[in-house]
């Protein structure tokens, strides 16, 4: 695998990890007791910390990418293993 491919796939894992972790630990003004600014949505987070989110996304994406790359090198799960259309060919 080329280095640019490794970087691109890792960045995809990072973005997906960030979106998965986005709602974790976030509290709304109703939960924290803060008053809303005029025009503010009631669901807007009052304690959003992007640095913490980036660190958590980096850790999760490193784990997920590590598993992906290990599978790429070792071949634990191949395309034939997840091809749902060919199940009848192997069932006999």
Our count of domains for the chain comes to: 1
Task: Determine the structural domain holding residue 71 and report its residue range.
Answer: 3-90
Residue 43: pLDDT band with limits 50, 70, 90: confident
**Reported pTM:** 0.79
Query: Would you say residue 68 has pLDDT above 70?
Result: yes
DSSP for 4-62, please give it.
HHHHHHHHHHHHHHHHHHTTTT---HHHHTPPPPTT--TTS-SS--HHHHHHHHHHHHH
Rounded to an integer, the average pLDDT of 25-36 is 89
- State how far the alpha carbon of 42 is from the alpha carbons of 24, 49, 50, 84, in Å: 17, 18, 20, 44
62 vs 32: which has the higher pLDDT: 62
């Amino acid at each position: 695998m080329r280095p640019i491919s490794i970087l691109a796939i890792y960045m995809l894992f990072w973005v997906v990890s960030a979106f998965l972790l986005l709602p974790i630990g976030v509290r709304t003004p109703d939960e924290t007791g803060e008053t809303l600014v005029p025009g503010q949505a009631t669901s807007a987070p009052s304690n959003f910390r992007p640095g913490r989110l980036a660190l958590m996304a980096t850790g999760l994406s490193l784990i997920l990418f590590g598993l992906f790359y290990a599978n790429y090198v070792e071949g634990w799960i191949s395309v034939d293993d997840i091809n749902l259309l060919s199940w009848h060919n192997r069932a006999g």
